[in-house]
């Protein structure tokens, strides 16, 4: 194992020290609970947005804390859910009197622990709502989930809902918007290599030089099937077709599109893949209103990519264009 770390047991806590040093103008860190807060949280009268999950998917979620996105992110150990105490600290720490929305990826540990935290917060008088993101079309159930996994739509949802909360919408309005975005978001990914969890010290799984895993999860969970290594054009088709047919998306639709790297794929390949995805969508009569290309929800150093589409309308495009200022996304601010 070759990694730029000190002790595998200290990776998350020491990474948080680095984030605080790098982005102290926007963030503050509760090191006891391993929670990253927007520096000015809580904001009086603003709905607080809390997300979180296992570390190793950076910049998600800590990189999306700041103006126009999240108010707090709970950082679990690598590929391990945060615990309810962390989530409770985040919830109480961002509650400005307008309530708090939990944005939860559909993994059993995350769902269970956020539910427990919400109950504890409610016992203290807080208003808490939750939305569970379950956008992965690859598999119905996995090693970590009942139902579909929560993946790339989480990033787009956090941006869109973050803009809505920033504009002063109520908790009910923000929760309803989050639910609607999840309902029109779909994702699927592929892996060219495994990744190595620092505490394990060895690759999570093995892939031959001539193989790729289609429909991989962000923790290295198995996908739909292991297939021969394909060209970018063929790989894009294998991702786009299941996504488009699932909702389904159709001619005349407008979408927010993301081609996301899993951590180990260079940008030149991601842009090449985006070109193939854009070509396929254009051929289907689907217009890309806005896009992201880069590493936004990763799996440590895994090579591969994922594609996410969210069906867009004028409201969602307007929310997308609203100012954002976080370590992972920044424009108009």
Q: Kindly list the catalytic residues.
A: 57, 219
CB-based contact 152:106 (threshold 8 Å): no
The 8-class DSSP code of residue 62 comes to: G
The structure tokens listed for 283 are 């051929």
Cα separation of the two ends of the chain:
40
Among candidate residues 306, 309, 229, the one with its CA nearest the CA of residue 270: 306
Residue 265 neighbours by CB under 8 Å, 6+ apart: 192, 303, 304, 305
Q: Rounded to whole angstroms, how far apart are CA atoms 270 and 239? A: 14
Q: Concatenated DSSP letters for 125-178?
A: T--EEEEEE--B-S-SS-SS-SSSPP-THHHHHHHHHHHHHHTT--HHHHHHHH
Peptide bond into 249 cis (omega under 30): no
SS3 state of residue 118: helix
Q: Rounded to whole angstroms, how far apart are CA atoms 322 and 330? A: 10
């Amino acid at each position: 194992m070759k990694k730029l770390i000190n002790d595998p047991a200290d990776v998350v806590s020491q990474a948080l020290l680095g984030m605080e040093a790098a982005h102290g103008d926007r963030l503050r860190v509760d090191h006891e609970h391993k929670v990253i807060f927007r520096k000015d949280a809580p904001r009086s009268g603003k709905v607080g947005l809390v997300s979180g999950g296992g570390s190793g998917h950076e910049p998600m979620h800590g990189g999306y804390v700041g103006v126009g996105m999240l108010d707090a992110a709970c950082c679990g150990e690598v590929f391990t859910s945060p615990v309810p105490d962390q989530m409770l600290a985040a919830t109480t720490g961002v509650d400005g009197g307008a309530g708090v929305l939990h944005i939860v990826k559909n993994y059993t540990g995350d769902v269970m622990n956020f539910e427990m935290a919400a109950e504890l917060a409610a016992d203290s008088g807080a208003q808490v709502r939750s939305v569970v993101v379950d956008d992965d079309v690859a598999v119905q159930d996995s090693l970590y989930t009942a139902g579909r996994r929560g993946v790339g739509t989480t990033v787009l949802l956090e941006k869109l809902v973050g803009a809505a909360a920033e504009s002063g919408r109520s908790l009910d309005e923000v929760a309803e918007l989050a639910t609607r975005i999840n309902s029109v978001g779909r994702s699927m990914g592929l892996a060219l290599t495994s990744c190595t969890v620092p505490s394990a010290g060895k690759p999570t799984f093995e892939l031959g030089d001539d193989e790729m895993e289609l429909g991989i999860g962000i923790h290295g969970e198995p996908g739909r099937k292991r297939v021969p290594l394909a060209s970018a054009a063929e790989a894009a088709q294998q991702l786009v077709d299941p996504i488009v047919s699932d909702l389904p998306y159709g001619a005349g639709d407008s979408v927010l599109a993301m081609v996301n790297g899993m951590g180990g794929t260079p940008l030149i390949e991601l842009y090449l893949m985006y070109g193939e995805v854009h070509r396929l969508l254009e051929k289907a009569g689907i217009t890309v209103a806005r896009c992201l290309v880069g590493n936004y929800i990763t799996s440590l150093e895994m090579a591969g990519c994922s594609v996410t589409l969210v069906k867009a309308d004028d409201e969602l495009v307007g929310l997308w264009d609203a100012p954002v200022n976080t370590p992972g996304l920044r424009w108009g601010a």
